[in-house]
């Protein structure tokens, strides 16, 4: 694994991915995007992993795209890079993903965070889509995921002005799951990940799958998807163990089977 992504396993079943390009406030360039996609692909292939936490450093989660790379690109150049492939790998990750944000999460950084299932932000965090200020627009899903997260009118204000919001305002908008003191962002994210990792992973994956698949489907279709997934879990060992443990008043031992 390249040193652009620092990888740790701080708790059983939990993979921590630290974005590590501090000299550029973790700005996304092609090597970093490729390293991030590779880290997610690797994590998915490790059966013992049950949750992923991605973070940056104290100054920035990701401060945006690297404009030094973008400045000389033409339309054809951007098309050749095909950033959709990188984002697609992360979007398709079946494991629960938590983004832990301190400092800046701007442009591609906010788009990356919005690929997560849970976002923990610090009080001092700044989240935004400032692309309009340099003559472009979000290209990694920002216009679509932001609207789905906070609604048209709040999203339009952020997109059309380019102005970031604080972690507290982002929480009040529904853009992040929780806002905590800056020093508590990563510890709290890891605590949540460890909690998720202690629960039955097949159920967690099905929950994520159905929520994402049903989000843009008609309600009847979403309910049908939920029902089918619900039924499949009744043949799992974890279902038998979980219910037996509950009835016997003992801790459950989930094996992902």
Average model confidence (pLDDT) across the chain = 94
Band of the pLDDT at 1, cuts 50, 70, 90? very low
132 and 225 fall within a common domain? no
What confidence tens digit (pLDDT) does each residue in 116-131 have?
Answer: 999 999 999 999 999 9
Token pair of 65 as six digits: 């795209």
- Cα-Cα-Cα-Cα torsion 21, 27, 28, 32, nearest 10 degrees, comes to 0
Provide the domain limits for residue 124: 5-197
43 and 155 fall within a common domain? yes
Within 10 angstroms of residue 41's Cβ, the number of other Cβ atoms is 13
Domain boundary among 177, 197, 217: 197
What confidence tens digit (pLDDT) does each residue in 142-182 have?
Answer: 999 999 999 999 999 999 999 999 999 999 999 999 999 99
What's the pLDDT score for residue 211? 97
List the catalytic residues. Answer: 111, 131
What confidence tens digit (pLDDT) does each residue in 227-254 have?
Answer: 999 999 999 999 999 999 999 999 999 9
Please state the separation of Cα 125 from the chain's center in Å. 16
What's the pLDDT score for residue 202? 96
- Looking at the chain, the whole-number percentage of residues with pLDDT higher than 90 is 88
Helix (H, G, I), strand (E, B) or coil at 161: helix
Residue 220 has pLDDT above 90, yes or no: yes
Q: Which residues pair with 119 in a beta bridge?
A: 99
- Best CA proximity match to 99, nearest among 84, 85, 116: 116
Count of structural domains within the chain: 2
108 and 224 fall within a common domain? no
- Over residues 81-106, the mean pLDDT reads 90
Per the CB < 8 A criterion, the answer to whether 117 and 111 are in contact is no
Widest Cα–Cα separation across the chain? 65
- Over residues 192-211, the mean pLDDT reads 97
Radius of gyration, alpha carbons of the chain? 19
Residue 60 contacts by C-beta under 8 Å, 6 or more apart in sequence?
Answer: 25, 26, 102, 103, 104, 105, 109
Q: Is residue 213 domain-resident?
A: yes
């Amino acid at each position: 694994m390249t040193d652009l992504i620092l990888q740790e396993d701080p708790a059983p079943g939990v993979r921590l991915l630290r974005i590590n390009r501090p000299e550029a406030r973790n700005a996304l360039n092609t090597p970093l995007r490729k390293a991030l996609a590779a880290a997610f692909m690797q994590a998915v292939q490790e059966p013992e992993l049950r949750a992923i936490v991605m973070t940056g450093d104290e100054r920035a989660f990701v401060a945006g795209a690297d404009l030094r790379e973008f400045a000389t690109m033409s339309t054809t150049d951007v098309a050749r890079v095909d950033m959709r492939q990188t984002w697609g790998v992360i979007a398709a990750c079946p494991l629960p993903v938590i983004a832990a944000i301190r400092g800046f999460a701007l442009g591609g950084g906010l788009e990356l965070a919005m690929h997560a299932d849970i976002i923990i932000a610090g009080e001092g965090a700044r989240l935004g889509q400032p692309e309009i200020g340099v003559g472009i627009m979000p290209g990694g899903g920002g216009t679509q995921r932001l609207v789905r997260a906070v609604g048209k009118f709040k999203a339009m204000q952020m997109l059309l002005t380019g102005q970031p919001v604080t972690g507290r305002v982002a929480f009040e908008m529904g853009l992040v799951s929780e806002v905590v003191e800056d020093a508590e962002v990563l510890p709290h994210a890891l605590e949540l990940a460890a909690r998720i990792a202690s629960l039955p992973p097949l159920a967690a994956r099905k929950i994520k799958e159905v929520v994402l698949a049903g989000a843009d489907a008609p309600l009847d279709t979403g309910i049908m998807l939920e029902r089918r997934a619900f039924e499949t879990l009744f043949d799992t060992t974890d279902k038998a163990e979980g219910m037996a443990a509950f009835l016997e008043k003992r801790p459950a031992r989930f094996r992902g089977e």
